[in-house]
Every structure is written in C-alpha cells, then in structure tokens.
Amino acid sequence: MSASFRRIDYSLRPAKHAERRMLCDVFRRLRPFGRVEDYVYVGFGSVWFSDFALFHRALGIKRMISIEQAEAARDRIEANKPFQIPVIYNQSTNVLPTLDWSQNQFLWLDYDDPLSMDMMLDMRAVASRAKSGTVLAVSVQCSTAPQIAAARDEGGATAVERFTQVFGRERTPPDLKELQLYGWQYGQLSRSMLYREVESALSIRNAQAGARKMNFRSICEIEYEDGAKMTTIVGIFHDDDAAPLIEQCHFDTLDFLTGKPQPIRISVPKLTPREFRKLEAQLPLPAGTQLDVGTMPPSEAHRFAELYRYLPNFAVLET
C-alpha cells in the first residue's frame, strides 16, 4: 500500500472530513458496550492524524495506535504526531495479530489502494480475534481495479481472469463481469468481498470447540469521491448475548442513516458561502416545514440539509 500523504492533502478533502465525523457519531453510540473513552482506537495516522485528533477531542479516546508502513517517513511522522500516540512501523498484516484483543477496539483500516489480498488477510486477522463490541471500519479505493490497466498494457489474460487469479475462485463471484471492476460497481464488489472474508473467518472461529459464537453486523456503508472514488464498510462484532446491546445503540437513528438507502453517498453540495449561511439559519428544520432554497438548485440545498452536521466549516475571505 502506498504512502498517499506524498500526493494527497487530507486536510483538503471535504467528503473525507464528513465521513470521519459520521464515524465519530457511530463510535459515540457504543456506550451500551462500555465507556467509549475506554475503547482503543487503531488506525492509519499517516502524517496528518486527522481521525486521531477528532476521536480524542470529541470522544475522549486516550489509547490510540497508529500503524504505518512508510518507515522512511518516520522522522516526519513523529514530528507531526499531535498527542502521545504510539506508531508501529510495519505492515498491518504483521501488526494486527499482535494487538491486545481483550480490549474493546475501534479499528478504521483506511486503505488508500484498491482491494488486495493483504486487505483480505487483515479481515481474517481481525475477525478471528475481535472481542464482542469491537467496531471495524474498512475503506478502499474503488475507481478502477488495477487488473484493468494490467490487461490493457500487458495483453494476454483479461482483467476478469487476472482479478480471479489474484483473489482465487473461492472469493471471486462466478459471474463477474469486467464492468464490475469500474467505479461504484467496483465499490459494491469490494464491499461484498470484504464482508464475505469476515464471515468466512468467523465461520472458522465459530466452528472451534467451545467457541462462543461471534457475529458481524453491518452498521452502514459509505461512498464518496475526493479525487478518487472510495467506499467504506462499517460493522460491529458481537456474540449472541450482546445482541440486545446492538439494539440499544440505536444506530438506525443516526442523522445520516435515518430513512436513507445504503450505501450513503457523500456528495458535497456546490453552494456559495452566502447560500451556506442562508440554509444553516433554517436548520435543524422543524417538522412539517419546507426548506427555503431561494435561487439555489434544490438538489444541492437539500443535500446540504442532510449532511450539514458533518460537512467542514470553511472560512472564506472575499475581496
């Protein structure tokens, strides 16, 4: 997986910012499983540590671990750490099995690259060890499968054949079409394969003698595009006894989930600063009232009303 901080300024990605705040709201709902402040957050901090800063300040999370494969950037990463965050310089496939899985964890495996076998190994590492109440979020890039370019540039095997060779026939849908390796269809394929890998690992775990049955329940799915198309799955591990605690979390009443189809598509509205202010002055919208959109495109205005709690606030200097 590449060191994306060399080409992406994460502070300038508004849809990513919104996703980060949505996950913060998901994590906040976990109190039925214990004090949220006592959870351990595990993520990929890079040089920005944006999610670490948010979860520490908003949720009071004190125990945080960053996994970083870019050993060559150690000095820069250490210089940019905002808090006392231990950074483990190694591949996630090597680090995840070594974590203390007796603790409640939030894991956000926020990959910058398209689906790979290393990611599948990470799914197995987490699913075979996670404690009931552990939340797993996984983000992958889904613009175009790398097998498309390989088939075009090298010839020979088709993109579908190459994809099947990478992941194996047991993981690849038997009726896979090349169209599913592009864009949001590729995102849907990636999500389904991630879910299946988790379920496969849980089947092995649950089949062990004396095992306490563990389940993985989806909370939400997210799509957005800040340059590259990205997709995210979010779910929670729980044993059968903890099923009532899931209901007490009331994930379905989250603002960005209530009555919304999955996946949630984060699309930042294209509005002027004055239009932002006009809409904010009406929100939250009282029941039974209509949004006054004025001269704004109605679709953009309503999109803002749905996402305004999660969108970044920009200070604009106008001359």
**Rounded average pLDDT per 10-residue block, the chain, 319 residues:** 46 86 97 97 94 96 96 94 95 98 97 97 98 98 98 95 98 98 98 98 97 97 95 98 97 91 93 93 94 96 94 61
Q: Please give the distance of CA 124 from its chain centroid, rounded to a whole number.
A: 17
pLDDT score recorded for residue 313: 78
pLDDT score recorded for residue 259: 84
pLDDT score recorded for residue 260: 85
DSSP character at residue 157: S
Structure tokens at 116: 């790979």
Residue 253: phi and psi, rounded to 5, are -95, 5
Residue 291: count other Cβ atoms within 10 Å of its Cβ.
Answer: 16
pLDDT score recorded for residue 245: 98
pLDDT score recorded for residue 69: 93
Structure tokens at 90: 């190694």
Selection from 14, 5, 1, 2 nearest residue 227 by Cα: 14
Selection from 45, 195, 42, 194 nearest residue 104 by Cα: 42
**For every residue of 41-71, which 3-state class applies, written as one string?**
EEECCCCCCHHHHHHHHHHCCCEEEEEECCH
d(CA 194, CA 172) in angstroms, rounded, equals 11
Strands 214-226 and 264-266, sheet pairing: parallel
Q: Which residue matches tokens 């190459």? A: 162
Omega before 263 cis (within 30°)? yes
pLDDT score recorded for residue 258: 86
pTM: 0.93
Q: How far is CA 50 from CA 18, 44, 46, 175, in A?
A: 12, 10, 9, 40
Q: How far is CA 219 from CA 120, 129, 263, in A?
A: 20, 20, 10
pLDDT score recorded for residue 238: 98
Selection from 259, 269, 265 nearest residue 184 by Cα: 265
DSSP-assigned states of every residue in 111-147? -SS---HHHHHHHHHHHTTPPTT-EEEEEEE-SB-HH
Residue spans per domain, the chain: 4-144+182-265, 269-307
Which CATH number is associated with domain 4-144+182-265? Answer: 3.40.50.150
Contacts of 265 (CB under 8 A, 6+ apart): 222, 223, 224
Rg of the Cα atoms in the chain: 21
